[in-house]
Amino acid sequence: MKYALTIALLCFCSLLHAQSEESAIKETINNFFKGMKTSDTALLISAISPNAVLQTVVTNKDQKVIVRTEEMSKFIEFVAKPHPLVFDERIQFETIKIDADLASAWTPYQFFLGDKFSHCGVNSFQLVKLDGKWKIQYIIDTRRKEKCIE
């Protein structure tokens, strides 16, 4: 009986820890988008690692699929510049996987400029736990205007 109770308690503690880690990962990703939406670059920067990578899967003018890399510093500068419309990326957390200090999150999204729908797609995040905090190391996304749920 003691053995079964110990096993059950360990499983419960593991579940609570996993939920706590998932919450911290969601908070990091949400802070990234909140920083983008409010032009709060300090909040945005707090969510990323010092050498974070930002990429997008796109189809070029020759209809060839390519991966475009954007410098994170240029993205942060772009967000910081005054702009008349709010950059509003609305995400859903579909899947989060964690192994030790590495995590992966899959987040379908819809992007709005102000109140106007712009495009949709999926973000794939890779996060690392640095100094006890989850940081975004890598983002790659897709972007499309069709087959979106509005």
Ranges 4-8, 40-44, 76-80, 128-132: which has the least confidence: 4-8
Q: Looking at residue 10, what is its pLDDT?
A: 47
Q: Where are the domains of the chain?
A: 2-142
pLDDT (tens digit per residue) in 51-92: 999 999 999 999 999 999 999 999 999 999 988 999 999 999
pLDDT digits (tens, 9 = 90+) for 13-41: 454 455 789 999 999 999 999 999 999 99
Three-state secondary structure of the chain: CHHHHHHHHHHHHHHHHHHHHHHHHHHHHHHHHHHHHHCCHHHHHHCEEEEEEEEEEEECCCCCEEEEEECHHHHHHHHHCCCCCCEEEEECCCEEEEECCEEEEEEEEEEEECCEEEEEEEEEEEEEEECCEEEEEEEEEECECCCCCC
2-142 has which fold?
A: Nuclear Transport Factor 2; Chain: A, (3.10.450)
Share of the chain above pLDDT 90, in %: 81
